[in-house]
A and B are shown apart, each in its own frame.
Chain A
Amino acid sequence: MVLLGKVALGIAGTAIAGIGLICSEGMIEVNVVEKQPEAHHVYVLAPAMLVPIATHFIPSSKLGHASAEIKPWMPTIRAALEQLRAVEDVTLVEVREPGQHVVVAKSGGSVVVDVTDKDDVVHVSAPIRAIESTVEQVAAASAETQD
């Protein structure tokens, strides 16, 4: 009985540690609500760590163009993301037009994009660390493709 308890504790501990590891970079949240013609609602909440891992499995040939485009801008992207992580929460850009409202903000370690127009409401939130890892993966794919 004691042995069974230890095994159960070990399994539970491993599961909790695994979940903790997967969620360590935060969660990516995508929420899309279509208003017209029929109301559709898509909601995705996924561990951010899965994105750079998934990027790793995309063939380099498929990422070639994107990575070639992004590589010259890597120093700028790195500097921007590093500073973005350091600054306090801020609304970076807000655009209001009749029937449309767009907000790009830094909120709690994530970049948040909210778009509201007459047809859709879109909310995307991605942790800065996950964006950093993913962009690094894409840029690294360029080197593999070019070699």
Chain B
Amino acid sequence: MRKGIRAIGVCGVLALTMSNLAGPAMAAAAPTERYLHVKVDDASKGESVNVNLPLSMAAAILPTVNKGSLHNGHVTIGEADFNGVDVRAILDAIRNAPDNEFVTVKEKDQDVRVAKSNGNLIVHVLDKTKDGEKVDVTVPMKVVDALFSTTKDNELDVAAAIRALSDAGDAVLVTVQDATQHVRIWIDSHSSSE
């Protein structure tokens, strides 16, 4: 009887030791979770919205949604939305081109700038009429490539773009600022947006 109790005790100690050893090793092997953060602040109304979405969760959920224009992680876009522009050809040209400013439009009401810099596609819009609304979009070229990696011309592969975002470094993707509102979308490895 005593031998039995001793054997159970030894097994218990061994199991605890193994779990203590295996725990940190498994934790070290697990890839760091990446988060997509959305923060909206409206100073005039005193409102704020924070969304922190694990990218692994987004990547797992998207392919399961089949509703409207979203199917298996792909978004179908009408031909009209492209306005007859061959987006793939333009992206090919941008991908192969060195860092440069591709479009600069300066108008009375609006400034637009499209550029490629350090492997990122940058779009900057300044609307001078609406409370000085300022939009900055910075998307890694890898993510843009993933977005247009589908074989169909009228589809965007959002799931592939999310996967590409997971592999990209910390980055601020979108900022929108006007007189009262501030919107910020970014990715990093922190579970909170603070």
Contact = CB atoms under 8 A, between A and B. Distances in A.
Chains A and B bind each other? yes
Interface of A: 75-76, 78-80, 82-84, 86-98
Interface residues of B, number: 20
B56 A76 contact: no
Interface string B75-108: 0000000000000000000000000000000000
A40 B45 CA distance: 30
B35 A90 contact: yes
A80 B57 contact: yes
Contacts of B50: 91, 93-95
19 contacts: A80-B57, A80-B61, A82-B60, A83-B60, A84-B57, A86-B56, A87-B56, A88-B191, A91-B50, A91-B191, A92-B52, A94-B50, A95-B47, A95-B50, A96-B47, A96-B48, A97-B45, A97-B47, A98-B46
Tell me what chain B mostly uses at the interface: helix, strand, loop, or mixed. Answer: mixed
A84 B61 CA distance: 11
Interface of B: 33, 35, 45-54, 56-57, 60-61, 64-65, 191-192
Given A87-B33, A88-B191, A89-B191, A95 B60 contact: no
A83 B62 CA distance: 12
Tell me what chain A mostly uses at the interface: helix, strand, loop, or mixed. Answer: mixed
B33 to A, nearest CB: 6
Nearest to A89: B191
B60 A79 contact: yes
A96 B51 CA distance: 12
B54 A95 contact: no
B49 A75 contact: no
A75 B72 CA distance: 11
Given A84-B57, A87-B56, A79 B33 contact: no
A92 to B, nearest CB: 6
Contacts of A82: 60
B88 to A, nearest CB: 30
Given A76-B61, A80-B60, A90-B52, 18 more contacts: A79-B60, A80-B57, A82-B60, A83-B54, A83-B56, A83-B57, A84-B57, A88-B191, A90-B191, A90-B192, A91-B191, A94-B50, A95-B49, A96-B46, A96-B49, A97-B45, A97-B47, A98-B46
Contacts of A98: 45-47
Contacts of B53: 92
Contacts of A83: 54, 56-57, 60-61
A93 B54 CA distance: 12
A91 B37 CA distance: 11
Contacts of A76: 61, 64-65
B192 to A, nearest CB: 6
Nearest to A94: B50
Contacts of A88: 33, 191
